[in-house]
């Protein structure tokens, strides 16, 4: 069974600064996908970024980038130039055969 | 991205009654839909996976007679909470995947806050 671990319950960052969220996972699969989802106070789940395990290049989406270390089973998310609208719960997720497995989440609070 | 509509967004029902939650994919066909439950300040817990035209697959510990799932078409799945009790109060979220295959992402509905009084 796969497990996804997010060890940081809450992170605080000032506007325009950078914050990095950690995520580790455990799997015996070789082909899989990793995701970061954002859940703002509205509770709508929003896909932030995705990474295919077979790709060595780290995914980037505007201010969001990942550091994917397959051998270490690590998948961290970096938010650059943080904005107030980035305040949300962030979930790391793993998918191999259809089902998404979520981590416990990290609450990110961006302060002025 | 694709749109998944979940209805209602909030519902209050009396103990012992049943309540139905709908999940619709508006601009794509979803072979597979997923139902999650989320308690306050916790992660999403997968309840069941439904495939169009077949019986849902429930996760361990989820009562299939309590949480009835129907996926009658490629654009609609429903979750019915039967004989609801206060402990069923929670936030329920659906997601749907496009027909495209393994490498396509799932899109989420807005969620339904169920309160059983």
Tens of pLDDT, residues A20-62: 999 999 999 888 999 999 999 999 999 999 999 999 899 999 9
Torsion angle (degrees, nearest 10) of CA B99, A3, A51, A9:
120
Interface test mutation site (partner B, options A6, A40, A43, A97, max chain B beta carbons within 10 A): A43
Interface test mutation site (partner B, options A44, A100, A101, A109, max chain B beta carbons within 10 A): A100
Mean pLDDT of all residues in A69-93: 97
Tens of pLDDT, residues B26-55: 988 888 899 999 998 899 999 999 988 888
Say which residue, B9 or B2, is predicted with more confidence.
Answer: B9
Residue pairs spanning A and B at CB distance below 8 A: 43
Residue B102: per-residue pLDDT: 58
Tokens of A32: 């899989």
Look at B91 and A43 and tell me if their CB atoms are within 8 Å: yes
């Amino acid at each position: 069974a796969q497990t996804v671990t997010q060890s940081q319950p809450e992170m605080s960052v000032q506007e325009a600064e950078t914050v990095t969220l950690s995520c580790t996972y455990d799997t015996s699969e070789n082909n899989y996908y990793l995701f970061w989802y954002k859940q703002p106070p509205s509770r709508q789940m929003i896909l932030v970024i995705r990474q295919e395990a077979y790709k060595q290049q780290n995914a980037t989406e505007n201010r969001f980038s990942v550091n994917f270390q397959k051998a270490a089973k690590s998948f961290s998310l970096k938010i650059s130039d943080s904005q107030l609208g980035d305040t949300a719960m962030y979930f790391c997720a793993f998918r191999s055969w259809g089902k998404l497995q979520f981590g416990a989440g990290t609450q990110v609070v961006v302060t002025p | 991205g694709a749109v998944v509509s979940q209805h209602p967004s909030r519902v209050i029902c009396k103990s012992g009654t049943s309540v139905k939650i709908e999940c619709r994919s508006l601009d794509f066909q979803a072979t597979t839909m997923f139902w999650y439950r989320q308690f306050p300040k916790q992660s999403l817990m997968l309840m069941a996976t439904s495939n169009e035209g077949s019986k849902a697959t429930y996760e361990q510990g989820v009562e299939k007679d309590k949480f009835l799932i129907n996926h009658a078409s490629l654009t609609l799945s429903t979750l019915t909470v039967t004989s609801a009790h206060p402990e069923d109060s929670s936030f329920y979220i659906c997601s749907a995947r496009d027909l495209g295959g393994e490498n396509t992402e799932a899109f989420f509905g807005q969620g339904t806050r169920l309160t059983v009084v």
